[in-house]
C-alpha cells in the first residue's frame, strides 16, 4: 500500500513540475530548472553519506571496537540479503539512528550512543533493521529524485516571479505571483508525504528482517519520547537531514501533519502491532536496560568525561 502511495506521490510531483514549468518557465525554463536541480542533487547523491556522517560527527567502528553492535548489524544485513554496511557511532545522548549511502554497496548505518544505552538488544535490532530496510529500498535515491523535482519547481517559481514568467501562455502577473508562492509549498508537502510513506514501509520491512514488529514498536515509543526531551545540536544545525533519522530529531509531532517528515509514532506503533498480530506474535515485554552483556557494549566502556562537552565517548577519542 505504501509502495503504491509513494509511486502516486512521485507521479504527482512530476505532474506538478510539468504544469508549473509550462505555465511559468515554458519549455526552455523548465529544462533549465530541471538541469540545475539535477546537477546539485547528483552531487548530493554521490556525497550524501560523507556529508551526513560528517555533519553528525559520526565515527566509523570495527568489530574490535564494539563486537556486540557490529555482529548485530552483520546478522541483520545477512537476513536482509544486503552487503555488510559500514557501521558508525555518534556520540550523542539523544537516542536515534540513521542510514545513508547511494546504494547497498556504499551504505552506512549510524547509531547514537544514547540509543544503545536505552534499548534492549531486541529493540536495537528492530531499529537497525529499519535502517537496513531504507538501504534495501534505496530510499536515498527516491528522496534524491523528489528533492530534484522539488528544487526544480522552486527554481522555476523564483525565476518566473523575477522575470515575469512565460509571456506567451503564462497565467498573468497575479497568477505568476500565486504560483511562485504556492508551487514550492505544494512541492514541499508532496516531498514530506513521500518521506512519511517511506518510513511506514521501512517499519514493515524492518520488522520482517528482525522478526519482531513489537520490539521495533517498543523501541519507537522509547526513543520518540526521549528525542523530544533531549536536544540534538547537530540535527538542529542541519534540519534538512531530519528525514534521515528513525524519529524526528528536532521536535515531536502530534499527528501525521502535512509539514512533518515522519509519521506520528502512535500510528507507526499501531501498524507494527497489527503486523505482529498477523504474524501470530505475542506482545513484546520491554525492559528498562540495555540487553548487551557487560557494563557497556563498547570496548573499554564509555568515558563520560568533559573533554567532549559532556557527551559519551568511546575508545576512539
CB 131 within 8 A of CB 109: yes
pTM: 0.76
Paired with 58 in beta bridges are 90
Q: What is the CA radius of gyration of the chain?
A: 21
Q: Whole-angstrom distance between the N-terminal and C-terminal Cα of the chain? A: 45
Quick one: pLDDT at residue 24?
Answer: 64
Residue with cell 531504507: 134
Paired with 59 in beta bridges are 89
**Which position among 131, 199, 201, 266 bears the catalytic label?**
131
Cα–Cα distance measured from residue 208 to residue 202, given in angstroms and rounded to the nearest whole number = 10
Quick one: pLDDT at residue 41?
Answer: 65
**Residue 228 CB neighbours (<10 A):** 16
Does residue 131 carry a catalytic annotation?
A: yes
Backbone angles phi, psi at 248, to 5 degrees: -60, 115
Helix (H) or strand (E) holding 97: strand 97-100
Paired with 98 in beta bridges are 110, 245
Backbone angles phi, psi at 110, to 5 degrees: -120, 135
Per-residue CA distances from 150 to 101, 104, 236 (Å): 21, 25, 22
Classify residue 83 by its DSSP letter: P
Q: Which three cell numbers stand for residue 20?
A: 508549473
Residue 203: which residues within 8 A CB-CB, separation 6 or more? 130, 133, 213, 216, 268, 271, 272
Cα–Cα distance measured from residue 183 to residue 261, given in angstroms and rounded to the nearest whole number = 19
Helix (H) or strand (E) holding 72: helix 67-79
CB 189 within 8 A of CB 261: no
Cα–Cα distance measured from residue 68 to residue 111, given in angstroms and rounded to the nearest whole number = 13
Q: 301: left (phi > 0), else alpha (psi -120 to 50), else beta?
A: left
Quick one: pLDDT at residue 256?
Answer: 54
pLDDT in tens for each of the 317 residues of the chain? 556 766 777 677 777 777 776 666 667 766 776 777 677 667 766 777 888 899 899 999 999 999 999 999 999 999 999 999 999 999 999 999 999 988 899 999 999 999 999 999 999 999 999 999 999 998 877 777 777 777 777 777 776 666 555 545 555 667 667 777 887 788 788 888 888 889 999 999 999 999 999 999 999 999 998 888 898 888 888 777 788 899 989 854 444 566 678 899 999 999 999 999 998 887 666 665 566 544 456 554 434 333 344 433 333 22
Quick one: pLDDT at residue 315?
Answer: 30
Cα–Cα distance measured from residue 38 to residue 16, given in angstroms and rounded to the nearest whole number = 16
Amino acid at each position: 500500500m505504501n509502495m503504491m502511495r509513494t509511486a502516486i506521490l512521485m507521479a504527482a510531483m512530476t505532474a506538478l513540475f510539468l504544469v508549473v514549468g509550462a505555465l511559468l518557465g515554458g519549455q526552455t525554463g523548465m529544462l533549465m530548472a530541471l538541469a540545475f536541480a539535477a546537477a546539485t542533487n547528483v552531487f548530493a547523491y554521490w556525497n550524501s553519506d560523507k556529508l551526513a556522517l560528517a555533519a553528525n560527527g559520526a565515527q566509523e567502528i570495527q568489530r574490535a571496537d564494539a563486537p556486540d553492535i557490529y555482529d548485530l548489524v552483520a546478522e541483520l544485513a545477512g537476513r536482509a540479503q544486503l552487503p555488510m554496511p559500514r557501521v558508525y557511532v555518534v556520540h550523542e545522548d539523544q537516542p536515534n539512528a540513521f542510514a545513508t549511502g547511494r546504494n547497498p554497496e556504499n551504505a552506512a548505518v549510524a547509531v547514537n550512543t544514547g540509543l544503545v544505552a536505552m534499548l534492549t538488544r531486541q529493540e536495537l535490532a528492530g531499529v537497525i533493521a529499519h535502517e537496513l530496510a531504507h538501504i534495501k529500498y534505496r530510499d536515498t535515491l527516491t528522496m534524491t529524485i523528489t528533492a530534484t523535482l522539488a528544487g526544480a519547481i522552486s527554481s522555476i517559481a523564483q525565476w518566473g516571479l523575477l522575470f515575469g514568467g512565460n509571456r506567451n501562455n503564462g497565467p498573468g502577473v497575479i497568477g505568476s505571483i500565486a504560483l511562485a508562492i504556492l508551487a514550492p509549498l505544494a512541492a514541499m508537502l508532496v516531498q514530506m508525504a513521500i518521506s512519511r510513506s517511506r518510513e511506514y514501509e521501512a517499519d514493515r520491512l524492518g520488522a520482517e528482517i528482525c522478526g519482531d514488529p513489537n520490539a521495533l514498536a517498543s523501541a519507537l515509543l522509547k526513543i520518540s519520547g526521549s528525542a523530544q526531551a533531549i536536544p540534538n545540536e547537530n540535527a538542529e544545525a542541519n534540519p534538512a537531514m531530519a528525514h534521515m533519522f528513525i524519529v524526528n530529531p528536532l521536535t515531536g509531532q502530534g499527528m501525521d501533519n502535512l509539514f512533518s517528515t515522519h509519521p506520528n509514532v502512535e500510528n507507526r506503533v499501531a501498524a507494527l502491532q497489527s503486523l505482529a498480530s498477523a504474524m501470530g506474535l505475542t506482545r513484546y515485554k520491554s525492559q528498562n536496560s540495555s540487553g548487551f552483556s557487560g557494563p557497556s557494549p563498547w570496548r573499554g566502556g564509555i568515558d563520560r568525561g568533559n573533554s567532549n562537552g559532556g557527551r559519551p565517548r568511546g575508545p576512539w577519542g
